[in-house]
A and B are shown apart, each in its own frame.
Chain A
Amino acid sequence: MKTDDTLLTAYVDGELDAAGVAEIEAAMAADPALARRVRVLRDATAALRAAFNDVAREPVPERLLAPLGAQAPHPWRVGALRRYAAAAAVLAVAALGALALLPAIGIELPYAIVAQQQDGWLASVSNYHQVYVRSQARDDRSLVDIGGEDRDYLEAWFGRRLKRDLRLPRLEAVGFRLQGGRVVFVETQPAAQFFYKAVDGGDIVSFTVAETKRKDAGWTEVKRGGLGVIYWRKNGYAYVFAGAVGREVLERAASTMGEREEKI
C-alpha cells in the first residue's frame, strides 16, 4: 500500500512519465479501490491548494514592500483585488460539494507594484503579460476585465479609465484576434493592457497603453524576460507591444498602430 501510495501520489502530481501514467491508469481501470484512492488523494490536494490560495491574493503588507523599494497597491486596485477574492469565494462555495473541482487559480495576481528603477515600467508591462500568459495556460479567464467580443465597448470602457480617446490596433491581418483587456498599473498610473491571440495556435501578443511622465522616445525594440518588446512614448503615453513571437510578427503588429499618429 505504501509503495502504491508513492506511485499514486506521483501520478496525482503529474510526475510520472507516459509509461508510468499508462500503467497506473490501467491498474485503476482494473481496480476500483485504486481509482477511489487516486480520487481521495486528488481531492486532498485540491483542498490543500484551496485552503492557502487566498493568502496569495491578499494585498502584500507595506512592511514587506518598503524594504524592496516597492509601493502598496493603488486604493482602487485593492477594490479590484477584493473582487477577485469575492469571485474566489464564490468558486470555493460552488466547489464545496466537489472539492476536486477547485481550480488552481490565482497563483499570481498583477499587484500594483512598481520598483523605482530606470527600466521598471517596461519590466512591469512584460510581467503583467507573463502573468496573463500563465493564466491562459491554466484556462483561467478571470484576469481579463472585459472580453474582446465588443471592441467598441472595450475602447469606450478603457478610454474612460485612462481619460483619453482609445483606439485598439486591429491585428486580424497579422493573424491575431482580440481576447480582452484589463487595467494594470505601471509606475503607479492606471494603464490598459490588451491581449491578442494567434488565430492558428496559442501565441499571445499584448498591447499596453500607459500614462507616463517620461520623455518621448522613438520606436524601440528590446527583449524583456523572454519576450520581444516594441515600444515608443509620445505626449505622455507609452505604447508597448510584447509577445514571445518572432521579431517580424511583432513588428508587423506594432506597425498597425505605428502607422497612425503615435509613431514618431
Chain B
Amino acid sequence: MDALFRSQLVALLPRLRRFARGLCGAADRADDLVQAACERALARMEQWTPGTRLDSWMYRIVRTIWIDELRAQKVRQRARERQEGEMETSFDGERAMEAQMTMQAVREAVAKLPPEQREILLLVAVEGVSYKEAAEILDIPIGTVMSRLARGRAALVKLLEKPREDGRGGADRIVRLS
C-alpha cells in the first residue's frame, strides 16, 4: 500500500506542479506548495480510500494548503513580486518568443483573477477535472462551480483584451480571441 501510494503520487507530480504553478505564479513557491501537500498526504495516507481518485484527493490538499497560506497573506504578495521574469524563456526564435510572451500574458492574467475563480479555472480548464469532481474538491455546490467558472472565464477574456494605446480600449488584443 505504502509503496503503491508513493509511486502513484510520483506519477501525479507533474500535474500537481502545474496546478500549483497556476495558483502561486512563482515556480519556487509552487514547488514548496507541492512538497507540503506531499508531506501531508504521506502523513494522512490512511485517510485516502484506495479505488477513489488520488488526483482529486491531492488537488484538494494542494488547494487547502494554498488557501491557508493565502489567509496568512504571504503568498499573494510574494507571488506578485516574483511574477516578472519568472518563467524561463527556453524557446528559440522571434516567433517562439512571441508565443512565450503570449503565454506569459495569460499567466499574468490568471494571477490577477480572484483566488476562487483562479482555482476553479485551473482545475477545470487546465487539469481537466469534471464539474462534479471540482465541486467535490472545492466542497461547493455544482451551481456555484458553473457560475464561478463562467465569471472566471469572462474575467480572463477581459484581461486578455489589451486596451489600445490611446486608451479607448477595444481592438488590440494580447491574445487573439476570435
Contact = CB atoms under 8 A, between A and B. Distances in A.
Interface of A: 2, 5-6, 8-10, 12-13, 15, 36, 39-41, 43-45, 47-58, 60-61, 63-65, 67-70, 85, 89, 92-93, 95-100, 104, 107-109, 111, 113-120, 123-124, 127
A148 B14 CA distance: 29
Contacts of A54: 103
A13 B178 contact: no
A15 B131 contact: yes
Interface string B11-54: 10111011001100000000100110011001000000000000
5 contacts: A44-B157, A51-B103, A52-B22, A89-B92, A111-B10
Contact of A53 (B18, B38, B99, B176): B18
Given A5-B154, A44-B157, A47-B106, A70 B6 contact: yes
Contacts of B157: 40-41, 44
Interface of B, helix, strand, loop or mixed by DSSP: helix
B11 A108 contact: yes
B150 A2 contact: yes
A48 B156 contact: yes
A93 to B, nearest CB: 5
Interface of A, helix, strand, loop or mixed by DSSP: helix
Interface residues of B, number: 57
A84 B6 CA distance: 26
B111 to A, nearest CB: 11
A97 B17 CA distance: 28
B150 A55 contact: no
Contacts of A118: 3
B147 A6 contact: yes
B128 A96 contact: no
Interface string B83-107: 0000000111101101110111011
